[in-house]
Chains A and B, each alone.
Chain A
Amino acid sequence: MKPVKIVQCVDSVEGIFTAVYDAWAMKYGHEFIKLEVIGMDESLNYELFSEYVLVEPDSLKAEKVAKSIRSKISEQAYELVVKAALSSDVRKADAIYHFLVRGFLMGKKVVDNLSDPYVQQIFEMNRFVGNETHFFKGFLRFVELKNGILLGKMEPKSNIVELLTPHFADRFAAENFMIVDMKRGVASIHQRNQEWFMTALEEEQMEALAAYDTEETEYSVLWKAFFKSVAIKERENYNLQRNQVRLRYRKHMTEFQE
């Protein structure tokens, strides 16, 4: 049996797409190729008898892959793959590669092939990313800074700032706001009635943002009072509450702060 080639890439859509491009170009036989995002799974050991190839992101190659997916498979497949690439699932690069292998063979019908394990994984990751994005539409909390800017901090599992921002840009068109992923150090910035954009934050900026936490304002006090009084004592059920709002989401939610 041939040794498996493990193609390693960085954690970004561009990185994964580049790895897809290079892996394909190797013509090594798809079943002997495995893709892996570096640094995602710390428990991962190097496998014996495997050959490791490290791929540097290359925007040209990534662009080509993106174009082929859209024209040879479908726009839907492209969206599925991009969303999967934003997930925190360690299998994502490999799932994307093998999903695309099938896609380039079958065309747009690949998305209906739900009994295929790689197609299933892609859908599973999409569900998770989609659900998490939806949760944060509700769970994100803004704090109003002195200058009127709304600051929303969060620590999602998946990399969803970019997916989440259009919702708020539409809703709060006339507000200045920023949404920050405190774990990844990325943020989206929206200025009143302008297009929003993504930015990476420096360490000092992150530290400054972290300091804004526990401020009590008139409205956060009122909100907490409201939150407390709408619970019905006779129906108290903390298990259900925990199921609905996971503890990991509560850190930045006003009503769960002491």
Chain B
Amino acid sequence: MEEKLSILADAAKYDVACTSSGVDRKGKEGSIGSAFQSGICHTFTADGRCVSLLKILFTNECIFDCKYCINRSSNDVKRTTFTPDEVCNLTIEFYRRNYIEGLFLSSGILHSPNYTMDLIYQTLKKLRCEYHFNGYIHCKAIPGADPELIELAGWYADRMSVNLELPTADGLKNLAPHKSRKNILNPIRQIQSGIEESQELLGMSGGNKGAYWHTRRKLEGKTIEQKRKEDAIRYQSTKRIDNTGQLDNTGKLGNVGKLDNAGNLDNTGKLGTLKKKSSIILPGEAEERNWVQSAPTGLSKISQFAGSRGFVPAGQSTQMIIGATPETDFELISVTEALYQKFDLKRVFYSAFIRVNDDSALPVIPGGPPLLREHRLYQADWLLRYYGFMAGELLTKERPNFNVYLDPKCNWALGHLEEFPVEVNKADYYTLLRVPGIGPKSAGRIVKARRMASLNFADLKKLGVVLKRALYFITCDGKMMYPTKIEENYITRQLLNLNEALPKHITNDGMTYEQLSLFQIPNFS
């Protein structure tokens, strides 16, 4: 058992998502377990990543041959498979000792996608119904499995995820020949629409939208009801609920027709633009509609499960591998934005590419995994979800990659000096959020505290504002902290001179911050 667990945990570790967040659920009589909205980290591994869930593969036997994956069928690794009871028992006993917050069940593809999805579903069902586990469960939807099996698993899981793996179709074709973007995006769409429907029918109030959705809503000054109504209108154009409460394909979809395998469609008359964009996986509404099933069949088991936990109540997430294929940061962040906007994902994770297989199709990255790039992407992801930035503000086609020396927010601020300085005692929350050195917590505190008294720089420091970064961008009652030039090169130099240590997880990127010479920065001449 110990060996089996080691193999199947080892094989699952490259999946970065380990969050147990997104759902609040009290304990239930006769069951063991609860769930906590913000999630709970139970320990941290030697690489500093949080362990929250028992993250394992059901099996590492796999018929697919994805070039980046340690479990690819052509690899000679030890193969093994759990039984559903083994998984259930491990989960319960680990949970009782408070080692874990729940289960994260992924799997290699054993025999066929359907066979595998069914195994996952059977295991989850057993864990919930026979072992009475009421804690957190995250499971994978297997690309290519029947919608019905995916739905069944969704009634037992809290969160589901389908990994996008690579942001472009070309990348996917090269490195994961057995996967297609259609097979990846369709389950995502199905789960999204299932979550919507289950919320409507089960009367889940407040909704279960991600941070991105709520940030946009607040920025537009809308209430939850207003925004939901708008979404419903948008949604109506792609689906219709008939008398029986079943969804069917109608309206615009009919005209667009069926998906083809290549994901291209030519009867919309917009072929020119589509062709051009088709290298990005999710460029625009039009293309997306072509190969994504816009109106999945709906929840067919809703009567059977009504009143239960709900369908995937903690939402869904996905992950992309960074640096295995030549996409730019702009492409990555645009894809991310599209996933939040159009697929209501809770989280998009990035995984710095680690060369576990020696394959000529895979790049050799001299400094090890691109951890700094991964870090910048996460920073940008936060800017999208909590700060109200749009992808197009952070990067453009002309400037498609993040500056490794400065975080994305400083970088943005330096390019938009005309919007500064900001008056701390007057500016609204979202304007404050755009100031380098001010985050959601300190911005919230500022808004609260200034109702009582006008704030000065000493107060800001105490409220948690990082003044060494913020001082170039703010005034308190019309005065700057000390006279400073508002000029791009000057501030850039000052910010770089801060010599701020990079976060601790950036160590072996083949580049250390200390080695930085100012003359390397093109901006400076």
Tell me how many residue pairs across A and B have CB atoms closer than 8 Å: 169
In chain B between 33 and 51, which residues have their CB closer than 8 angstroms to a CB of chain A?
A: 33-34, 36, 40-51
- Residue B262 at the chain A interface, CB threshold 8 Å: no
Are the CB atoms of A222 and B5 closer together than 8 Å? yes
Contacts of B52 in A (CB 8 A): 138
Smallest beta-carbon distance A8→chain B, Å:
28
- Residue A1 at the chain B interface, CB threshold 8 Å: no
Smallest beta-carbon distance B100→chain A, Å:
9
Q: How many residues of B contact A (CB 8 A)?
A: 62
**B 400-414 to A, binary, CB cutoff 8 A, 1 in contact else 0:** 000000000000000
Q: Give complex CA distance A139, B36 in Å.
A: 15
- Residue B378 at the chain A interface, CB threshold 8 Å: no
A231-B47 contact in complex given A115-B455, A138-B42, C-beta closer than 8 Å: yes
In the complex formed, the residue of B with least CB distance to A238 is: B46
In the complex formed, the residue of B with least CB distance to A237 is: B48
- Pick from B40, B56, B445: contact of A138, CB under 8 Å: B40
- Residue B78 at the chain A interface, CB threshold 8 Å: no
Are the CB atoms of A112 and B93 closer together than 8 Å? no
Are the CB atoms of A114 and B371 closer together than 8 Å? no
Are the CB atoms of A171 and B34 closer together than 8 Å? yes
**A 106-124 to B, binary, CB cutoff 8 A, 1 in contact else 0:** 0001001111000010000
- Residue B97 at the chain A interface, CB threshold 8 Å: yes
Q: Give complex CA distance A152, B98 in Å.
A: 9
In chain B between 351 and 379, which residues have their CB closer than 8 angstroms to a CB of chain A?
A: 352, 354, 368-369, 371
Q: Give complex CA distance A221, B455 in Å.
A: 55
Are the CB atoms of B452 and A234 closer together than 8 Å? no
Q: How many residues of A contact B (CB 8 A)?
A: 53
Are the CB atoms of A120 and B94 closer together than 8 Å? no
Smallest beta-carbon distance A232→chain B, Å:
5
- Residue A46 at the chain B interface, CB threshold 8 Å: no
**A 161-194 to B, binary, CB cutoff 8 A, 1 in contact else 0:** 0000001101111110000000000000000000
- Residue B505 at the chain A interface, CB threshold 8 Å: yes
Are the CB atoms of A241 and B46 closer together than 8 Å? yes
Main secondary structure of the interface of B (DSSP, over half): loop
Smallest beta-carbon distance A188→chain B, Å:
14
Are the CB atoms of B51 and A141 closer together than 8 Å? no
Q: Give complex CA distance A55, B186 in Å.
A: 70
Are the CB atoms of B101 and A138 closer together than 8 Å? yes
Are the CB atoms of B97 and A229 closer together than 8 Å? no
In the complex formed, the residue of A with least CB distance to B454 is: A115
In chain B between 48 and 87, which residues have their CB closer than 8 angstroms to a CB of chain A?
A: 48-52, 54-56
**A143, A233, A241 interface centre (most CB from chain B within 10 Å):** A241
- Residue B234 at the chain A interface, CB threshold 8 Å: no
A222-B90 contact in complex given A109-B452, A134-B40, C-beta closer than 8 Å: yes
Smallest beta-carbon distance B272→chain A, Å:
43
Q: Give complex CA distance A222, B56 in Å.
A: 13
- Pick from A115, A227, A236: contact of B453, CB under 8 Å: A115
Q: Give complex CA distance A141, B95 in Å.
A: 10
Are the CB atoms of B96 and A150 closer together than 8 Å? yes
Are the CB atoms of A142 and B97 closer together than 8 Å? yes
Contacts of B504 in A (CB 8 A): 237, 239-240, 243
A241-B41 contact in complex given A234-B369, A235-B369, C-beta closer than 8 Å: no
Smallest beta-carbon distance B497→chain A, Å:
24
Are the CB atoms of B448 and A114 closer together than 8 Å? yes
- Residue A254 at the chain B interface, CB threshold 8 Å: yes
**A115, A225, A231, A241 interface centre (most CB from chain B within 10 Å):** A115
Are the CB atoms of A237 and B505 closer together than 8 Å? yes
Contacts of A244 in B (CB 8 A): 41, 44, 48, 50
Contacts of A240 in B (CB 8 A): 44, 47-48, 503-505
Q: Give complex CA distance A245, B49 in Å.
A: 11
Are the CB atoms of B98 and A170 closer together than 8 Å? no
Smallest beta-carbon distance B457→chain A, Å:
12
Contacts of B397 in A (CB 8 A): none
Are the CB atoms of A144 and B96 closer together than 8 Å? yes
In the complex formed, the residue of A with least CB distance to B455 is: A115
A115-B453, A167-B36, A173-B32 known, 9 other contacts, Cβ within 8 Å: A112-B449, A138-B101, A143-B97, A144-B96, A152-B98, A225-B2, A230-B9, A231-B45, A232-B354
Which 10 pairs across A and B sit closest by C-beta, in order of nearness? A240-B48, A114-B449, A231-B45, A235-B47, A231-B46, A244-B44, A170-B27, A240-B504, A229-B10, A138-B42
Residues of B at the A interface (CB closer than 8 Å) are: 1-2, 5-7, 9-10, 12-14, 26-27, 29-30, 32-34, 36, 40-52, 54-56, 90, 93-94, 96-99, 101, 135, 352, 354, 368-369, 371, 445, 448-449, 451-453, 455, 459, 462-463, 503-505, 507
Please, could you name 9 A-B residue pairs with CB atoms under 8 Å apart, sorted by A?
Answer: A114-B448, A114-B459, A115-B452, A144-B96, A172-B27, A219-B94, A230-B9, A234-B368, A239-B48
